[in-house]
Amino acid sequence: MDLRQLRCFIAVAEELHFGRAAERLGLAPPALSRQISALEDELGVSLLTRTTRQVALTRAGLIMLEEAKAILVRMERASRSVREASLASSKVLRVGAIDAASSSFVPEALVTFRSRHPGIEIKFVEAMTAPLVQMLEAGKLDLALLRPPRKPTDCAFEILRVERPIVVLSESHPLAAREHLTMQDLVGEPFVVPSKRIRPFAYDLVMAYFESVGAVPNVTIEATEKPAMMSAVAAGLGMALAPDWVSRLSFPGVTMRRLRGALLDPPPPGALVGVAWRPHQKLAARDDFLAILRESVTLIDDGNVLPFSVTGRGRKPATRTATIRAGGH
């Protein structure tokens, strides 16, 4: 019996469907079936009953499901404890970030950290929020800059920045002649939106801005990454909404305009960037980097090339820290 077999069995037991379980694990259904059969042969019992229409757990399967989950939890806890014991005295800081953070305030924070701690190696990875949370929970990261976690987690999360939207449009678009735009100006215009499946935070944010004026976007195309979105806009396929940090970048054939009156209250999760970490773990290097972030990152970024007029400009309200625990809301 090995961990791979246990993971395969848990997936089938939870999905009660070999096809869905195989897709979840990234395996071919025949390979998954062989793993289950090997586990049953080793145990000498049937864990599942299979028909052409249905998969069900036997009594032995129900017991095995509970035990298999407990084994994986214990193994993960042991692996995490070993890694944390090793890292407690190590000279490495492992940081993960979404593009919104790595393209804005993270570089400056890393430079400051390096100047204060030249002997500490920095390992950096860029990914989306969900995989960053998984890496953090598995002990593969010390700290992550991301959107608010969508699922319950034992990680602490603190908001660092509220992003403001800007309008991205083709240089030849008639609205490009204006200095700024409003959401009402965008209603009915062809629109490039983020992929709902791959970029759920960004997609929901665009929908929220249109809902704020009682409208929905006239979607012409979905784009997964920023370069694809910019290319679609430059090609005249539509305009787009983007976070303010994108104004630091340059794309041929594309121009950007301020969006007035679009700061939603409260800000949607897709407009928030924060830092997450495991509070039970004591790491001096991570805590020093957290302190640098709190010192240097302002809640509203006034350093963009498309400045906004914001009440209370330059003041950073008290930060909000929350630990979202499993089973919470």
Local mean pLDDT, 10-residue blocks, the chain (329 residues): 90 90 88 92 91 86 91 83 59 93 93 92 93 93 93 91 92 92 94 91 92 94 91 95 87 91 79 93 91 90 48 37 38
Instruction: Find how far residue 315's CA is from the centre of its chain.
Output: 27
Helix axes 3-15, 59-87, angle to 10 degrees: 130
Rounded-to-integer distance, Cα 117 and Cα 111, Å: 10
| Of residues 164, 168, 183, the one with CA closest to residue 270 | 164
CA distances from 201 to 194, 207, 326 (A): 9, 10, 21
pLDDT at 319 (0 to 100): 40
pTM for the full predicted model: 0.63
| CB-based burial, 306-328: b 16+ in 10 Å, e otherwise | bebeeeeeeeeeeeeeeebeeee
pLDDT of residue 223: 92
Q: What is the pLDDT of residue 299?
A: 84
Tokens of 284: 């001096």
139 Rama sector, left if φ>0, alpha if ψ -120 to 50, beta otherwise: left
What whole-number distance in Å separates Cα of residue 110 and Cα of residue 289?
8
Q: What is the pLDDT of residue 46?
A: 92
